Amino acid sequence: MTTTTRAALRLLDPRTWLHVLRLVHLYAWGHVEERRLITAGPDLHMSPNVSLRNAERITVGQRVYIGERSALWAGDGSGRIRLGDGCVLAPEVFITASDYGSHWGTHIMDQPRRERDVVIGDGAWLGVRVVVVAGVTIGDGAIVGAGSVVTRDVPAGAIVVGSPARVVGFRDGAPQPEPV
């Protein structure tokens, strides 16, 4: 059987077209339907392939940029996500306001969900492939380096990197917290 014949048979297979319909449905569910539920200020620039969950609990300020293949997943019941004015999210940023428990002897999907708000301050910049977990606040003007995993609050003006993210400095002129 030639390559052309095999390709033609695949196009005639109804399973091929059913799969296309599933992909269209998935795209509409995670991108199109959810987008109209988000509360956003003017001048939002959001890539068309951003994944949203529970967008009625997502609030975005003005002049915000959300890069390609990013995901904003608010909680199913109460966990909210708030992006302040002028935030920049590079491609593939993942922010979630919900996670599972980790009790031994209970399957992860059967664990109770823990939903906590995530707040990203005005003018914060999250680099490529940053992960922000439930309950975190990132202060105004903070910079989160590419590939970082943010598991605790970040002070305003801080520069954080790593997994878990740690403060490595502050932006020029940023107020620095008092030493503990």
Q: Give the active site residues.
A: 107
The H or E element containing residue 27 is helix 14-27
Structure tokens at 64: 């915000």
Distance from C-alpha of 90 to C-alpha of 66, rounded to nearest angstrom: 7
Distance from C-alpha of 126 to C-alpha of 122, rounded to nearest angstrom: 12
Residue 146 near residue 90, CB atoms below 8 Å: yes
How big is the chain by its Cα radius of gyration, in Å? 20
Classify residue 154 by its DSSP letter: B
Distance from C-alpha of 86 to C-alpha of 143, rounded to nearest angstrom: 13
Distances (CA, A) of 5 to 10, 16, 18, 19: 9, 15, 21, 20
Q: How far is CA 54 from the centre of its chain?
A: 12
